[in-house]
Structure 1
Amino acid sequence: MSAVLTPPPALTAPARDDDEINLLEYWQILRERKWLVASIAGAVFMLALVFTLLATPIFRASSTLQIERDTMKIMDVEGLTPAESPMDRDFYQTQYELLKSRSLALRVIQDQRLVEHGQYKKTIEAVDESLAEKPKSGAAVPAEPKQAVRERALVETVLKALTIEPIRNSRLVRINFDSADPLLAARVANAFADAFIASNLERKFDASAYARKFLEERLAQLKARLEDSETALVQFATTEQIVSIGENMPSLDAQNLAELNASLAQAQGDRIRAEAKWAQASRGDGLGLPQVVASPLIQKLREARSLLAGEYQEKLRTFKPDYPDMQRLAGEIAEIDRQVAGEVAHIRNSVRAEYESASNQEALLEARLSGLKADVLDLQSRSIQYNILKREAETNRQLYDGLLQRYKEIGVVGNVGANNVSVIDRAEVPNGRHSPRVPLNLAVGLLLGVFAGVLGAFVLHHLDRSIATPKALSEAAPLPVLGAIPKLADGITPEQASADVRSAFAESYRSVRTALQFATPNGIPRSLLFTSPSAAEGKSTSALELARNIAQLGRRVVLVDADLRKPTLHRIGGVTNGQGLSNVLAGAAGVLEVVQSTSDARLSIITSGPLPPSPPELFAGERLPALLHELSQHFEVIVLDGPPVLGLADAPLLATQADATILVAAADATRTDSLQAALHRLTSVRARVVGTLLTQFDVRRKGGAQGYGGYSYYEYGGERG
């Protein structure tokens, strides 16, 4: 008959999310292992104290540097002075790494002769021993000197004692050096600052020296190339008869062509004007010509003729033309006309000659201009290669001049010697030790100890596979927890504890009895088997106490010791074990013959009887069901105290015949895997396991009555206090 058990209200807890942090549970874990936490914390604290007291005092000296991004610009030379962004942190990180470089440490070791200092004596001796052993092992002797090997061996030691500490939101950095010798700490800290400044200047000088050397080589190459290009240009100009009169100036032929072209234009204008004059002079009598009108001689002659003509006309009124005076006047007038005609002819000839001269000059200029055009075109064809050579020479000259200027600038800037690193505070000999710091070390040791203790408590808790609480029992076995039996104090027996009805021990079994009343639809099962995964887990005591509690309800109960290997009921029940269950199963006695009465008339006991050689054979026969059937005729409840499940075949055989089985687990003794293996074995034979029972539960150590149904409200001998 199967049974369904509903756990009592005192043993159930409200469901909660698995991801929820249960601080109370963590506190209970720490409380349970408080001595472990205290011992680990104390041990770590003592180790920190011993280490602090035995540690060598270390002194720290600090030197402060200011590192500027840009040097003071004596000359603003493009490409030589840096122009980084102020927000760029790469520059400062680079400087910090340079301060921690091996090369700088080696320089300090050499400058301060640290190889000879007593603080590094052991390191130097170890290096000397290794150098002495190398030839013996067949290894090649190092080529570098012994002193260099010693210095290199100290680099790591010195760097471990060095600390670079940038000061936030500033351009300052502290150089800290730790040493057991305060004088050495101050000396090395200052040496690092000085060496860093010196190396910074040397790097700049080396960079400028390298640039000067490179420019010198390039200048020599460009100078030779410039000489070659100019020589080729002069030779070509000499060969081709090309004369250069200056930069951006035309050649002589081109200048002559321009001048001749201007002269031709002027000659053409003169010829046109002369031709116009001649055309005017060649028509009519010529008296209207400007030259004639402007001639003083002709004007005087014409005035004289006018006077003579007037005189002639006046005398003509008196005299006849044949009159001698009249003939004289006529002759003078004719002479004047002849002279005027001669002068006009001279002017005409002059105009004609001017016209002819202008025409001839124009013709000559045109002929010369045609010749110069041919010369200029020929010069242009010959100047193509000349211009190529000229441009090459000019390019080489520009490159040479630019590099020469840069070379001079580098020489000036390189000799300035500006530095962007300066010492703000030099290291002083420290008065107090930097480490070990007793209060800090002890505080850290205590914190680490507490942390290690808490960590150890949680680790042990999670590694501990034993079942310690009803909650762990319910998680290990998916069955109702019928109850948790508190652990008795030293010197208190179960009989004494159960005698006090107000004790937590007695109250817990009454709670189990109450839970069993609801285990099946018919109440308490008619036959009930108590078993456990292993021995000494409290199943016999639980069987006896539960039988007594059921009998107190007025029911007739028989308690059967079914453990035919290590029986205990006859001792704790105070009865004899002359004959019992083994006699009945073997057919040597009847059922009622082996039943023994107790102080309670409603409770009877059947002991195990003599131990048989093979208990499973007795349980596997037909006498066990008959025994249970016969007992059910005389008793209302049959309680079986069975053997452990694991390693034996007895318990599964008994479980198949009992109406219900209770699996007992001892707190801090029963392992989770053992419980699960026992439950699996019982369910594999179709046993009706109605629940589990936790015994030897230390209520105080697990957090008192909080969450465990008030099992610690009463204690044996009085109230909880």
Structure 2
Amino acid sequence: MPAIRQYLRIAYRWRYVILGVTAVCLVIGIIATLLMTPKYSAVATVEISRESNKVTDFQGVERETSVADQEFYQTQYGLLRARSLAERVATRLRLVDDPKFFGRFNYSDTDPAFDQVNGRYPASGRAQRLRIAGEILLKHVAIDPTRLSRLVDIAFTSPDPAFSALVANTWAEGFIQTNLERKIQATSYGRNLLERQLAQAKDRLDQSQRQLVSYASAQQIINLPAQSSNGTTTAERSIVADDLASLNAALTQATAERIQAEARYQQAGRSGASTEALRNQAINNLRQRRAELAAEYQRLMVQFEPGYPAARAIQSQIDQLDRSIAREEGRVTGSQLADYREAQERERALQDKVNQLKSSYLDLRRRSIQYNIYQQEVDTSRALYDALLQRFKEIGVAGGVGVNNIAIVDTADVPQKPSSPRLLVNIIVSLLAGLGLGALAAVALEQIDEAILDPIEVQRRLGLPLLGSIPKVPDGREPRTELLDRKSDLVDAYLAVQTNLAFTTEHGVPRTFAVTSTRPSEGKSTTALALATMLARSQRKVILVDGDMRSPSIHHLGGVGHEHGLSNFLAGDDNIPAMTFDMRDLGFTAMSAGPIPPNAAELLTGQRLPLLLEHLLEHYDHVVIDSPPVMGLADAPLIASRVEGVIYAVEAQGIRSSVVRIALGRLATMNMATDMVETARLSRDMIRSGRPITSVSSANWICKGLLAFAVLILGGASVAFSLSQSLATDNPALAHALTPYDGQITGRLAGSLVTATNSEADRRHIDALARRALRQDPGIVPAIVALGLNAQARGETDASQQLFRYAQTLSRRDVATQLWAIEDSVGRGDIAGALKHYDIALRVKPTLSDVLFPVLSSASADPTVRAAVIHTLAAKPSWAENFIRYVAANAPSDATVSLFMGLQQSNVLIPEAARSQVINGLIGATRLDAAWAYYVAQHPRADRRRSRDAGFTAMLDTPSQFDWVLINDGTISTSIQRSGKANLFDYTVPSNAGGPVLQQVQLLSPGRYRLVGESSGGQEAGTSLPYWTLRCRDGRELGRIALKSSDGVTVPFEGSFTVPQFCEIQTLSLVAQPSDAVTGYSGQILRVQLQPE
């Protein structure tokens, strides 16, 4: 905590230095920021996968499993910063031969490679320019990996936002391409090596196959190859081996069959009935028949004797069956014997053949030893060749397809705001830098400055304790006056000094002490006077001795002269009473310094001063000596050696501490020389008095001036900037005069002057302003638009299109660029693009005029364009209604009907007034079919052969001519009234008024039509009744049907009209005839319908 307080004290002491340096740094930072060229950073993001995406099943070609992840990604980051990649980007973007690129980054070199010939660089220095272009790109590109992910941001910064986005995207694409090329190159060596190994393996395979075939032919070894399921040769079998195996299997089968036949034959011999006999169907049938006859015979024996004829007959049949059974069993036994002997013979023959083949096979085995060696060599060569061939194919496929372990996640968009300079960040950095420099300056000044400012510094700088801190006497007041006021701050401060002084000796306040200082005017005399006053007020006898015989001052306080005083006593005069005088208001006695001696130090070196002190102590409790300053004089040390203690006064902020230490050293040396016992202890007593802070150091004054200047500069810049921003729209010229460094305002000024000038000189001035704005900020769209409009005015179509396209890429919120984009899209037939740009322009400026509507309304005749218009209007209802109203008012046509019907199908709300306006416009243009088609689309139940809305149920605020139209001419009053559940048409005709009151346009075909309806109303005598009439467009009246007179009672009316040829459109009207009644008349139509007869 003491250290923190020390630092805070230093900061407060040098606060003006710190604030001044901070303000200067802030001004420099703001000015530097305003003067810096804005730079734009575009960022593209790529993903770098640790494992490659496999395009084949081949293992071990591109996998780098031995490399740690960290090493792998650090390698990728290094490749992203590679010079070769930068040069590749420069080559792809053709930056090597582009002077604008080197000028954009303010690169200038005296190298001959940059000497332009006819505005172009020479081809001889292309390699040098490529190297420099790569270095420039590397200097402005930043690779920023995202922590804990596989994403890497590629950021490029330049004064041109579009160029920044282009380089960032090209950098990402180039990195992917170089990665693929590196992978492909890595496989080329493997392919070449495998090609050589394949050729060698093929030669070895051919040689071993020839040896195998030659040996087999010589030894007459015929082997058949055997293949496994995957098609590879697993082994070869000779014909002898195959025959031996086949015969041995046949022998085994024959032996088994012989054993079975023998067993069957022996079984039949033992039991007399073999299994075959039991399974023989014929024998079983005979036995079944015998059993039936035996049963019949036994039944007869129950009643008859064996000789009974029927019984004998049955016995004869039984005997016959027994013989038949015996013959059949003998036949079966013979068959078994034949099978047994046949099996024996077959077994014997097969055994002989097997024995013969065994001998042949053993001989073949002896001859096949070398053959097998050759066969193994062939199989080994073939396996090696197949493996190498498969590996070669896999590497070829992988090398041709490429390993895709890097992908672009986000492409870089054209930045809309500059990334640097950032005013807020620069202000913060300037503030921190200013505070840091200010703090260093304060510490340095603190180390250099030895003035004592704070009482705490006394102990640290001088090594002496502090008795007290005395405040400055207010201007215009004397210290003596303040001492007389016992409530003053000065009295309180010296009371504190007296209290601390009481602890300096064993007996309290020293009886004799001197008050001195380093130099004059530090407050020692005031301190001596005040301490004498304080001691006197504590009921002690005190005498104040003016020991400064070179510049006495005490006698002035007493209003006496100094003809007699200390110098007289030291010279030998013992008349002490004549040397003293009373200061009754302060309560003590004083002794003047006396006449100024030629050499005061000689007087002080004698024994007269101790004698004086001894004599004064007999009559006074305390002797206070106002000693002369220490520096430059020997008086103070001499006096200090004769008194009990010394009080040292130091002026705050007035003297260097090193000088004070030298003065204290002189005092200490003198005390030691005079062998004063209490010198070491008493010399530590000190007081700081005089004028604490009577002035400010020159450093603080300078810093205050710098601070005021910085505040003035900042205030002026702030006011100018605020005024320029407020005037940027209304008065860009004045705003530019206030802040000529602001690119936005310069661009606005250039844009505002474009439309107000036509001369070539003015255009050159505008070009200069626009180019200055672009140098200040390359993203200033108004400046680019101004250049484009100037180029357009000069007939430079290509240049103007490039400028407008560039402005379009920078900002879509500029109305001028959007209007140009609309015209460009319309010129190219891209109505959808024009709609898009118009919508953007409307969002920027909602009050934009309908610049696109005439083009759209005429282009809607194209079904493709109409579909695009419908889609856009359905998505943008905010301005769809305005377009619909415009088309309805200006371009009613068949295409308009199709457009409106498409909009209706897309759920776009079409105002009633617009629908009626389109129908009426089409009727007026005699586009009757189109008008009726659109009307039917709104009213599907409408019938062209009949009038519509017989009961007045669908009255509209803005009806079309196909609807009932009420006519109010200011005299005749018409309205639709509600009567119960139905509506009725009400009219009132004043006196002497008349004319149509209700009408509806019809599209009747030639023929006869009947008008029926109901009306009510009352007329006074002498009035004429209203009538219905049907007229052709050319004015021909097709008849009249008068209403019947009624007195408030509903009455029907009816009549017929005949529509002739060449009368395509008719108007059905209710006409009120002029009335001669004073009050006129009124009536109602409840229902009316015109229909075919």
Cα distance in 1 between the residues matched to 2:163 and 2:454: 63
**Cα gap change, 1:606 to 1:594, in 2 (>3 Å):** farther
Q: Which residue of 1 aligns with 2:100?
A: 118
Q: How does 1:196-211 map to 2 (within 5 A)?
A: 196-211=175-190
Secondary structure in structure 1 of the residue aligned to 2:32: helix
Q: Which of 592, 611, 621 lines up with 2:576 in the alignment?
A: 592
Higher mean alpha-carbon deviation, 469-478 vs 409-418, is at: 469-478
Q: AA paired with 1:602?
A: F
Amino acid at match of 2:109: V
> Paired residue for 1:652?
637
Indicate conservation of the 8 Å contact 1:175/1:193, yes or no: yes
Conserved 8 A contact 1:660-1:690: no
- Equivalence map 1:27-426=2 (5 Å): 27-82=8-63, 88-115=69-96, 116-118=98-100, 120-121=102-103, 126-129=108-111, 146-168=125-147, 170-220=149-199, 399-426=384-411
In the TM superposition, residue 486 of structure 1 has moved relative to its aligned partner by 1.3
Deviation for aligned residue 1:73: 1.9
Aligned partner of 1:622 in structure 2 is: 607
Map of 1:294 onto structure 2: none
TM-score, length basis structure 2: 0.44
Aligned pair in 2 of structure 1 residues 46, 490: CA closer, same or farther (>3 Å)?
Answer: farther
> Where does residue 985 of structure 2 map in the other structure?
none
Q: Can you list the C-alpha shifts for 1:80-123, whole angstroms capped at 9, x where unaligned? A: 24365999344444333322222212222222233424352387
Distance in structure 2 (CA, Å) of the matches to 1:506 and 1:49: 53
Q: For 1:391 and 1:609, how far apart are their aligned partners in 2?
A: 140
Q: In terms of mean alpha carbon deviation, does 123-132 or 550-559 score higher?
A: 123-132
Change (3 A) 1:641 1:213: farther
Using a 3 Å threshold, how does the CA distance of structure 1 residues 147 and 480 change in structure 2: closer, same or farther?
A: same
State whether residues 113 and 126 of structure 2, in contact with CA within 8 Å, keep that contact through their aligned partners in structure 1.
no
Provide the residue aligned with 1:602 in structure 2: 588
Of 240-249 and 148-157, deviating more is: 240-249
Partner amino acid, structure 2, of 1:597: F
The equivalent of 1:336 in structure 2 is none
The CA deviation at 1:570 is 5.0
- Distance in 2 between residues matched to 1:696 and 1:398, nearest whole Å: 111
The C-alpha deviation readout for 1:493-534, integer Å capped at 9, x for no partner, is 433433432221221112212222333222221210223345
Distance in 1 between residues matched to 2:136 and 2:235, nearest whole Å: 76
Aligned residue among 537, 543, 546 for 1:558: 543
CA positional deviation for 1:169: 5.1
| AA at the equivalent of 1:407 | F
After TM superposition, give the deviation of residue 415 of structure 1 in Å: 1.3
Q: Do the aligned residues in 1 keep the contact of 2:52 with 2:404 (CA within 8 Å)?
A: yes
Q: Let me know the Cα RMSD of the aligned residues.
A: 4.9
Cα offset for 1:39? 2.5
Counterpart in the other structure of 1:469? 454
The TM-score normalised by the length of structure 1 is 0.65
* 1:100–1:132 CA distance, 2 compared to 1 (3 A): closer
Q: Which has the higher contact order (CA 8 A, sep 6+)?
A: 1
The verdict on how the C-alpha distance between 1:624 and 1:83 changes in structure 2, with shifts beyond 3 A counting, is same
Aligned residues: 565
Any conservation in 1 of the 2:652–2:690 contact (CA below 8 Å)? yes
CA shift, 1:604, in A, is 0.5
Q: Which AA in structure 2 matches 1:127?
A: D
- Name the SS for the 1:525 alignment partner: coil
Give the letter for the 2:55 counterpart. Answer: I
Residue 687 (structure 2) pairs with residue 693 (structure 1)? yes
Q: Which runs of 5+ in 2 are unaligned?
A: 116-122, 226-232, 249-354, 696-1093
For 2:471 and 2:665, how far apart are their aligned partners in 1? 27
Percent identity, please: 36
Residue 515 of structure 1: aligned partner: 500
What secondary structure is seen at the aligned counterpart in 1 of 2:154? Answer: strand
Look up the SS of the partner of 2:173 in the other structure: helix
Is this contact kept in 1: 2:89–2:167, CA < 8 A? yes
Per-residue CA deviations over 1:245-293 (Å, capped at 9, x if unaligned) read 89999999xx9xx99xx9xxxxxxxxxxxxxxxxxxxxxxxxxxxxxxx
1:552 and 1:63 mapped to 2: Cα distance? 88
Hey, what's the Cα distance between the residues in 2 that align with 1:578 and 1:391? 144
Displacement of 1:419: 2.2
Q: Which residue of 2 aligns with 1:642?
A: 627
Match of 1:358 in 2: none
Change in Cα spacing, 1:561 to 1:105, as seen in structure 2 (3 Å) is farther
Q: Distance in 1 between matches of 2:213 and 2:631?
A: 119
Q: In the alignment, is the contact (CA less than 8 A) between 1:161 and 1:178 conserved in 2?
A: yes
Change (3 A) 1:690 1:439: closer
Larger Rg: 1
Q: What SS does the corresponding residue of 2:453 show, helix, strand or coil? A: coil
Contact 2:45 2:152 in 1 (8 A): yes
Query: For residues 463 and 80 of structure 2, what CA distance do their matches in structure 1 show?
Result: 66
Contact 1:61/1:176 (<8 A) preserved? yes
Partner-residue secondary structure (3-state), 1:530: strand
Structure 1 pair 647/200, CA: closer, same or farther in 2 (3 Å)? farther
Deviation of the 1:131 alpha carbon: 7.6
Q: Report the CA distance between 1:202 and its aligned residue.
A: 1.2
C-alpha contact 1:65 1:421 (8 A) present in aligned 2: yes
Superposition deviation, residue 537 in structure 1: 3.0
Change (3 A) 1:626 1:215: farther
Q: Is the 8 A contact 2:649 2:688 kept in 1?
A: yes
Residue 418 of structure 2: SS of its match in structure 1? coil
Shift in Å, 1:189: 1.7
Q: Distance in 2 between matches of 1:680 and 1:447?
A: 44
Unmatched tracts of structure 1, length 5 or more:
1-16, 134-143, 263-364, 702-721
Distance 1:56 1:180 in 2: 7
Residue type of the alignment partner of 1:627: L
Secondary structure of the residue aligned to 1:657 is: coil
Q: Quote the Cα distance in structure 2 between the aligned partners of 1:391 and 1:575.
A: 143
* Equivalent-residue separation in structure 1 for 2:476 and 2:378 (angstroms): 119
Question: Do 2:542 and 2:620's aligned partners in 1 also have CA atoms closer than 8 Å?
Answer: yes
Q: Alignment partner of 1:691: what SS?
A: coil
Would the aligned equivalents of 1:594 and 1:606 in 2 still touch at CA under 8 Å?
Answer: no
Distance 1:118 1:604, change over 3 A: same
Question: For the residues of structure 1 that align with 2:607 and 2:654, how far apart are their CA atoms?
Answer: 36
Give me the whole-angstrom Cα distance separating, in 1, the residues matched to 2:62 and 2:150: 19
CA gap of 1:698–1:625, structure 2 versus 1, over 3 A, is: closer
- Structure-2 separation of matches of 1:37 and 1:673: 26
- Does the CA contact (< 8 Å) of 1:208 and 1:414 recur in 2? yes
Amino acid at match of 2:60: G
Distance 1:446 1:207, change over 3 A: same
Change (3 A) 1:499 1:532: same
Alpha-carbon distance in structure 2 between the residues aligned to 1:579 and 1:462: 48
